[in-house]
Structure 1
Amino acid sequence: MRIEAIELYEYRLTYAHGTYAMSKGRSASQQPSNLVRIVADDGLEGWGEAAILSGNYLPLFAGGTREALRELAPHLIGEDPRAIKRIEGIMDGVLTGQNNAKSAFDIACWDLFGKSVGLPVAALLGGVLGENLPIFEAIPLSSTEANIDFVTKRSAAGIRRFQIKVGDDPQRDAARVRSIIEASDDDIFFYVDANAGWTLLEASIGMRAMEDLNIWFEQPCTDLADCALLRKMSPLPLIMDESVVTLADLYRAKYEVGAGGINLKLGRVGGITRAANMRDTAQNLGMHFNIEDIWGGDISAAAVSHVAASSRPANLLQTSFFNDWTEEHVAGYQPRVRHGVGAAPTGPGLGIEIDRGLIGEPVTSFS
């Protein structure tokens, strides 16, 4: 099998709940997304997606990802899409970093691989270990009243796990978190995420103000060393996210920070291949993890579902299907969250069918 053609598509994803707001004034109501279609010489096709959550969230931005996709694509023509490690090496030889763009091609290759052998991606990753994936949703930074209303509506739809965005004034954040928890059902689990938005001082104030709550903190500060200092100040468990990009970062998260887990985003680490590798290492280290992506629609949700479904349930904290957070659906709104749980599609590859009538013509193509 050889890659005969590559097509790139662009579209916008609209946040389903108005404005998605994080710490330090970062917010967006729409996000740019990129779709990759890889066509093999036997006519099979594979799809991947790379979406961006604003340019001030990670050292990535929409224009950079789109240029990186154009830079990488010609080098993959003629290659076997099932030779995943070779594809990874070729992309690394062309560009350093640019993991978000590499993720789209990696996902598309896995989709093609699965279709070529008639198996879902989860089977190729070791098999389905979890059929009822615990789903969480993020509560954007807003007023206490708006956050409580968000939880009320989404919990009525079956969601029982929520990530509360914090990272501005630590005392106000602590009061808001406490009010949300007190106003919600006892069986709902909450945790907080500063998206690396707090300074060490702010984080120490916020964590101490919430020490009596049954919660964990996700990436309170940008620097791993600052997060390590926080472990000495507060008993609350830490989950690392933005600062974990490589396996070396994973080891630092556990042995330097003392983090109990990590949040693995496919677009941040470079796709299914690297996410699965980091997940397996985390499992072997006795760590826990979330599986998700930076942002995305149906294709991203499908890719995430296969990595999550092939994870050990004892180590998987939760996952998210971003197509439940967005309005646009290019694959029939699949996979779907049902009563707070999700599952990986069972068809070959990603197990979803792209409606090309919804995405228009490719913005560029290579052959």
Structure 2
Amino acid sequence: MKITAIEVYGHQLTYAHGEYVMSGGRAAQRQHSTLVRILTDEGVEGWGESCTLGGTYLPAFAEGTREAVRVMAPSLIGEDPTNLVAIHQLMDRSLLGQNSAKSAIDIACWDLLGKVAGLPIARLIGGIAQPDFPLYEAVPLASPADMAAFVRMRSEAGISRFQLKVGNDPYDDAARTRSVVEACSKDVVIVADANGGWNLQSAVIAVRELAGLNIFIEQPCRDTADCALVQRMSSLPLVMDESVVNAAELYRAKYDAGAVSVNIKLARVGGITGAVRMRDQAQELGMTICIEDVWGGDLTSAAVAHVAASTRADALMHASFFNDWTLEHVAGYQPRSVRGRGKAPEAPGLGIEVDIHTLGPALFRVEK
């Protein structure tokens, strides 16, 4: 099988609950997703997706993701998309980093590999470790009362795991967190996620103010070393996210920062291939894992579902289905969550069918 063409599509995703707000004034009502379609000489095609949170969350942005695909694509024409090692070597020879763009191509290649093998991706990356798995939902940064109301509303839909957006004034963040804790039953999992928004002083104040609550703290500071300093002054279990981009940083997250869990985003580590590698390393280190992505729709949710389903139940903290958080759907709103739980599609590849008619014309096409 050979790649004959690579197409890139733009896809706007509207947040289902109005405005998505994080620390530092980062807020948006919609995000611009990038969809990659890989066509082959055997008539089989694969789809991938990568969506950034603007340009200030990670060192990636929608226009850069698309241009990076344009730069890498010529080196992939004529290559076998099911040979993932060779595909990544070619991408790495073209561009250093640019994991957001590489993730979309990687996911599309896994979709093709699964279709050729006649198996869902989860079967190819370890097997089905659990038939379904818990999902979390993010709670946009707002007033304590509004965040508590959001949690009550989503609890009615069966969600029992929440990631609270904090990372501004530590005293205000403590009030937000306490309000949500009071609105939840004791068995609800709550993660206060600063997205690296606190400086060292604010983070120390925050963990002091939050001491004694049954919660996790996620990425209090941008740098792993600063998170380690904060954790020495905290009794709360630490989750690491944005600064963990490779195996060395994962090791530092556990042994330097004392993290018990890591959040793995596909676009941050280069797709399903990187996520599975880091997932397996984290499992061996005895850490728990959240499997998700930066943002996305049906394609992203399907990719996340396969990685989550093949993760050991004792190691998976939770996952996310971003197509529950967004209004637009390219694959019939599949996969679909049920009462706060998700499962991987059972059809070959990603296991979902993209309706190309929901998209506009391709932004560009690369072929011989």
Which TM-score band (shorter chain)? Answer: over 0.9
Quote the Cα distance in structure 1 between the aligned partners of 2:147 and 2:43.
48
Given the two structures, how large is their TM-score scaled by the length of structure 2? 0.98
Quote the Cα distance in structure 2 between the aligned partners of 1:148 and 1:287.
29
Corresponding position of 2:206: 206
**Which digits, 9 at most, give the CA deviation of each residue in 1:83-142, with x for residues without a partner?**
001101110110001000000000000000000010000000010101121000000001
Quote the Cα distance in structure 2 between the aligned partners of 1:12 and 1:312.
33
Please list, as runs of the form range in 1=range in 2, the aligned pairs for 1:32-47 lying within 5 A after superposition.
Answer: 32-47=32-47
**Which digits, 9 at most, give the CA deviation of each residue in 1:55-94, with x for residues without a partner?**
1111111221111011111111111111001101110110
Query: Which SS does the other structure have where 1:164 is aligned?
Result: strand
Q: 2:130 touches 2:313 (CA, 8 Å); kept in 1?
A: yes
Please list, as runs of the form range in 1=range in 2, the aligned pairs for 1:149-168 lying within 5 A after superposition.
Answer: 149-168=149-168
Quote the Cα distance in structure 1 between the aligned partners of 2:208 and 2:130.
35
Query: Which SS does the other structure have where 2:78 is aligned?
Result: coil
Query: Which SS does the other structure have where 2:256 is aligned?
Result: helix
Corresponding position of 1:122: 122
Quote the Cα distance in structure 2 between the aligned partners of 1:73 and 1:26.
32
Quote the Cα distance in structure 1 between the aligned partners of 2:268 and 2:156.
31
**Which digits, 9 at most, give the CA deviation of each residue in 1:135-180, with x for residues without a partner?**
0000000112211221111110110100111111101110121111
Quote the Cα distance in structure 1 between the aligned partners of 2:276 and 2:83.
16
Query: Which SS does the other structure have where 1:6 is aligned?
Result: strand
For residue 98 of structure 2, what is the amino acid of its counterpart? Q
Q: CA deviation at 1:185?
A: 2.9
**Gaps (5+ residues) in structure 2?**
none
Quote the Cα distance in structure 2 between the aligned partners of 1:177 and 1:148.
9
Quote the Cα distance in structure 2 between the aligned partners of 1:183 and 1:91.
47
Q: 2:125 touches 2:276 (CA, 8 Å); kept in 1?
A: yes
Corresponding position of 1:84: 84
Corresponding position of 2:181: 181
Please list, as runs of the form range in 1=range in 2, the aligned pairs for 1:345-364 lying within 5 A after superposition.
Answer: 345-364=345-364
Corresponding position of 1:146: 146
Question: Do residues 50 (structure 1) and 50 (structure 2) align?
Answer: yes
Quote the Cα distance in structure 2 between the aligned partners of 1:125 and 1:137.
25
**Gaps (5+ residues) in structure 1?**
none
Quote the Cα distance in structure 2 between the aligned partners of 1:188 and 1:286.
22
Quote the Cα distance in structure 1 between the aligned partners of 2:265 and 2:5.
27
Q: 2:31 touches 2:54 (CA, 8 Å); kept in 1?
A: yes
Question: Do residues 231 (structure 1) and 231 (structure 2) align?
Answer: yes
**Which digits, 9 at most, give the CA deviation of each residue in 1:218-244, with x for residues without a partner?**
100011111111121011111110001
Q: CA deviation at 1:183?
A: 2.1
Quote the Cα distance in structure 2 between the aligned partners of 1:287 and 1:185.
25
Worse-superposed segment, 151-160 or 179-188:
179-188
> C-alpha root-mean-square deviation of aligned residues, in Å?
0.8
Corresponding position of 1:217: 217
**After the TM superposition, which segments of 4 or more aligned residues of structure 1 sit over 4 Å from their partners?**
none
Corresponding position of 1:343: 343
Worse-superposed segment, 173-182 or 301-310:
173-182
Corresponding position of 2:3: 3
Quote the Cα distance in structure 2 between the aligned partners of 1:326 and 1:226.
33
Worse-superposed segment, 230-239 or 102-111:
230-239
Q: What is the aligned residue count? A: 367
Quote the Cα distance in structure 2 between the aligned partners of 1:184 and 1:236.
18
Quote the Cα distance in structure 1 between the aligned partners of 2:9 and 2:223.
35
Corresponding position of 1:327: 327
Quote the Cα distance in structure 2 between the aligned partners of 1:150 and 1:263.
23
**Which digits, 9 at most, give the CA deviation of each residue in 1:286-334, with x for residues without a partner?**
1111000000000000000000100111010000000000000000000
**Which digits, 9 at most, give the CA deviation of each residue in 1:39-69, with x for residues without a partner?**
1111000000010101111111122111101
